Structure 1
Amino acid sequence: MSRFTFSESNLAHLGLKTKTWNNPQADCPSFSIGSKINYHLKLSDNGYLIVAEKFASGEIFCLAPSFLSPAFPVSWGLLILPQDKDDPFVVEPPIGYEEIIAVFSQEKPQLDWLPKPEDEPLELQTEHLASLLNHVNKNHYQLMGYKYLIKA
């Protein structure tokens, strides 16, 4: 099983400044369809974590909070998604780039659309992304990001 760890990074390529999502550069890791993966996030403090993933299909989902992640607030240390380590994500078609951003803050996000801990991941619409960007721009936060390529 593959795993990768998020780290703090400049996320301009994800559109946090321009409010658009651009294709990442080609120098990122790749995973074959059928690979089993999980996401490891290193947290240096307790707080609130939102994780969104843009799939190669173009759809964007909020993975945390949801049933895949622990409930708010999360504790410092290593956090693994999905929460059930014995049930990893399976890489599925289509081939292409996937991107993940994690927004971590000390303040509880005031986003009424966030899924509850027992909910399925939510497909994010334009208004969700706009309110998330607004939250990021107005609050003390840490950003973590990761991009990878899905290949045949």
Structure 2
Amino acid sequence: MNLPRYEDYEGDFLDAMATRFGFTGKNSLIFEKRFLEGNKNLTHEELATKFAEKLIKGTEDGDPYRIFRQQLSKICEKLEAAGCPPSKGVDRWKNAKRWLREVIFPQWAKEQGLVTPPPFTIDQIWQQLKAKAIDSNLLEVVLAEELREVPVLGARHNKSRKTVPVNSDIKYQVKVDREGYLILLEREPSGVVCCLCPSEYAPNSRCAAGVMVLPQCPPSEYATFGSDEVGREQILALITQELPRLDWLKKSKEKALELDGDHLYGLLEYVEGNRDCQVLWTEYSVV
């Protein structure tokens, strides 16, 4: 999706978030001043001193710094309860600020009609993702009945398939050279793109170095994938060091999400902006 510049809408966005999360009075003041991009280099104490009169108004204890810190902590707690990944320590508010900008701002901008459609079709975005991938034996499809344990990275015990009989039970193998996070996408013969990891088939995106077999059974109740549609299947895997801050990943964890152009374009933007990620690709035919 083509987002507007955050800086152009920061004031309106922070006002809207103060209303959404119920920050009023001093909490609204602390939230907007602390999360304002122009104040990022100011310390809590400097901000508390700058707005001391408003912070101590109506209180017996005239310590603006204490009030600022206590209320900021409560603000962070409320944002974490709303979905912000928890963070401990002095950078807790910075983590919340990043979450608001990277995850919530795109949602809000879309709600406000500020987002323009992606400049490419789903097929064009898929081809751009595919162009960034390597086609190797690191991503393979195997028949479930032929799958044997692969104890170490690089072992070649299973027969990778380029053709699969229709209605077969299959699994995917991803060979990971270092721990990280896995996103696995499938493009069906019809052109529909679905996210298989995370999904109900593979709810855990975190992956250790070695061989990752999908579906993840357990914890998933599904032991295999089906192959009931004749044609060419394309599989794309993205291995990252950090889980991308894409809101649809959480939705897909509950049920494999069919991805639209906005979803895919957001992933493409992530790949283009993060060199420290690996993109794998393979394809096979269901016959």
Range class of TM-score, shorter chain: 0.7 to 0.9
Which residue does the alignment assign to 1:15?
A: 127
Which of structure 1's runs of 4+ aligned residues deviate more than 3 A?
115-118
Q: What is the SS of the residue equivalent to 1:16?
A: helix
Q: What is the SS of the residue equivalent to 2:266?
A: helix
Aligned match of 1:42 in 170, 175, 198?
Answer: 175
TM-score for the superposition, normalised by structure 1? 0.76
Does the 8 Å contact 1:39/1:81 carry over to 2?
Answer: yes
Tell me whether 1:52 sits opposite 2:185 in the alignment. Answer: yes
Deviation at 1:45, TM superposition (A): 1.0
Which residue does the alignment assign to 1:71?
A: 204
Tell me whether 1:128 sits opposite 2:263 in the alignment. Answer: yes
- Evaluate the alpha carbon distance shift between residue 128 and residue 116 of structure 1 in structure 2; reply closer, same or farther with a 3 A threshold: closer
Does the 8 Å contact 2:186/2:235 carry over to 1?
Answer: yes
Does the 8 Å contact 2:163/2:286 carry over to 1?
Answer: yes
Deviation per CA, 1:63-100, whole angstroms, max 9, x where unpaired?
0111211424221211111112872112102x211100
> Which amino acid is the alignment partner of residue 59 of structure 1?
V
- Evaluate the alpha carbon distance shift between residue 131 and residue 77 of structure 1 in structure 2; reply closer, same or farther with a 3 A threshold: same
* Structure 1 stretches lacking a partner, 5+ long: 1-13, 20-27
Which residue does the alignment assign to 1:91?
A: 227
- Evaluate the alpha carbon distance shift between residue 127 and residue 114 of structure 1 in structure 2; reply closer, same or farther with a 3 A threshold: same
Q: What is the SS of the residue equivalent to 1:123?
A: coil
Identity of aligned residues (%): 34
Greater helix content: 2
Larger radius of gyration: 2
Deviation at 1:16, TM superposition (A): 2.1
